[in-house]
Amino acid sequence: MKRLIHVIFQVAALISLSGCATNPATGRKVFDYYSWDEEVKIGQQTLSVNEQQMHKSGVPVNRDTARVAQIQEIVHRITAVSDNPQLPYNVTLFQTNIVNAAAAPGGSMMVFQGLYDPKVGLVADNDEMAAVLGHEIAHVNCRHVTRQICIATSFGAATEVGAEILARKNHQQVAWALRGVFAAGTTLLIPAYGRHEEAEADHLGTLYMARAGYDPRAAVRIWKRAMEQAGGKHDSTSIFATHPSDKARYEALLRLLPDAMEEYRKTTGHYPPGYDPAHPAP
């Protein structure tokens, strides 16, 4: 009986202290028992593990100041108009041929140089990079990693999390929501999302990039390109493997384009060159 009362108190405390967050993609309340501070800590730890792994295999952090400044500028502009501009967003560029970008909880992001590769990469200009980063920043704002943990763990397990959020037990839960991808003799941790989370990140990310003044047609363009490359041989680190694109995804982005263009127009005062609202398809 005493144990039962204890558990009831724990559950009540959890609900009152941390219970609900709002999902910016839907405006609906979602159950998430992590605080933003905890998300930031988890993200920083994930980034630190990945940096150590990369260092071990001889992959340096890219210090090309022009390229890094270009990426930081995109991150800065998009996060400023996101739902959580207060987060300590940061981006690290790794000098490796991996074709991908990823965001850990709380805003720690990684871009891999291969994304820019003219032959096998995905992005060719700033608008396209903004589309990829907008998508990643949307995952952060929707708190997709911790939401997955909260949905998947039983309520009973949730009560055991308590204040020791980064205790060993919880590390396992976080590790469960991250995918190990194998690159250059290392195992990198990147978040593993389902189709539903991907659709939310596409939607919100495209609105964010447009609101930041980047041409949202770039999002349609790159995910169409990804769709055309789907089914090919891609290793597990590739954005084509971690973000498989299909017709439904491309069509959803196409449907969103008129709304995204209005966001762009509100920011810049005009549509991007060559855009005709009567014929929105790029």
- Minimum CB distance to Zn ion smaller for 87 or for 161: 87
Residue 201 interacting with Zn ion (CB under 5 A): yes
- Minimum CB distance to Zn ion smaller for 18 or for 100: 100
| Residue count of the chain | 282
Residue 227 interacting with Zn ion (CB under 5 A): no
* Shortest distance in whole angstroms from residue 122 CB to Zn ion: 13
Residue 257 interacting with Zn ion (CB under 5 A): no
Residue 111 interacting with Zn ion (CB under 5 A): no
Given the structure tokens 């108190």, which residue do they identify? Answer: 9
Contact 21, 32 (CB under 8 A): yes
Nearest alpha-carbon partner for 225 in 113, 127, 128: 128
Name the residue number minimizing CB distance to Zn ion.
201
- Minimum CB distance to Zn ion smaller for 77 or for 135: 135
Contact 149, 174 (CB under 8 A): yes
Residue 103 interacting with Zn ion (CB under 5 A): no
Give the tokens for residue 257. 């384009």
* Shortest distance in whole angstroms from residue 135 CB to Zn ion: 5
* Shortest distance in whole angstroms from residue 46 CB to Zn ion: 15
Residue 109 interacting with Zn ion (CB under 5 A): no
- Minimum CB distance to Zn ion smaller for 198 or for 263: 198
Residue 115 interacting with Zn ion (CB under 5 A): no
Burial 207-223, CB ≥16 within 10 A → b, else e: bbbbbbbbbbbbbbbbb
Q: How many residues make contact with Zn ion (CB under 5 A)?
A: 2
The span from the CA of 226 to the CA of 118, in Å, is: 14
* Shortest distance in whole angstroms from residue 63 CB to Zn ion: 27
- Minimum CB distance to Zn ion smaller for 32 or for 198: 198
* Shortest distance in whole angstroms from residue 157 CB to Zn ion: 26
- Minimum CB distance to Zn ion smaller for 201 or for 260: 201
Contact 18, 34 (CB under 8 A): yes
CB atoms within 10 A of CB 55: 12
* Shortest distance in whole angstroms from residue 15 CB to Zn ion: 30
Residues facing 183 on adjacent strands = 186
* Shortest distance in whole angstroms from residue 136 CB to Zn ion: 7
CA distances from 6 to 1, 10, 15, 259, 270 (A): 9, 6, 14, 50, 60
Residue 99 interacting with Zn ion (CB under 5 A): no
Burial 91-128, CB ≥16 within 10 A → b, else e: bbbbebbbbbbbbbbbbbbbbbbbbbeeeebbbeebbb
* Shortest distance in whole angstroms from residue 20 CB to Zn ion: 24
Residue 133 interacting with Zn ion (CB under 5 A): no
168-176 helix and 144-152 helix, angle to the nearest 10 degrees: 110
Residues 139-198 contacting Zn ion, CB under 5 A:
198
State the residues that interact with Zn ion by CB under 5 A.
198, 201
